Amino acid sequence: MARWFETLTGSLEQKKQYRQAMARLEALPGPYRDAGKAVHRYLMYSGGGVTDGDTLVTMFGDLVDLWDRAAADGTPVRAVVGDDPVDFAETFAQSYTGKRWVDKERARLMTAIDEAEKEQS
Domains (range + CATH), the chain = 15-120 (1.10.1900.10)
DSSP state of 95: T
Query: Is the pLDDT assigned to residue 22 strictly greater than 80?
Result: yes
Poorest-pLDDT segment among 39-48, 53-62, 81-90: 39-48
pLDDT tens sequence across 63-97? 999 999 999 999 999 999 999 999 999 899 888 87
Residues near 103 by Cβ (< 8 Å), separated by ≥ 6? 51
Calculate Rg over the CA atoms of the chain. Answer: 18
- How sure is the predictor about 33, in pLDDT bands with cuts at 50, 70 and 90? very high
- What is the pLDDT, as a whole number, of residue 106? 84
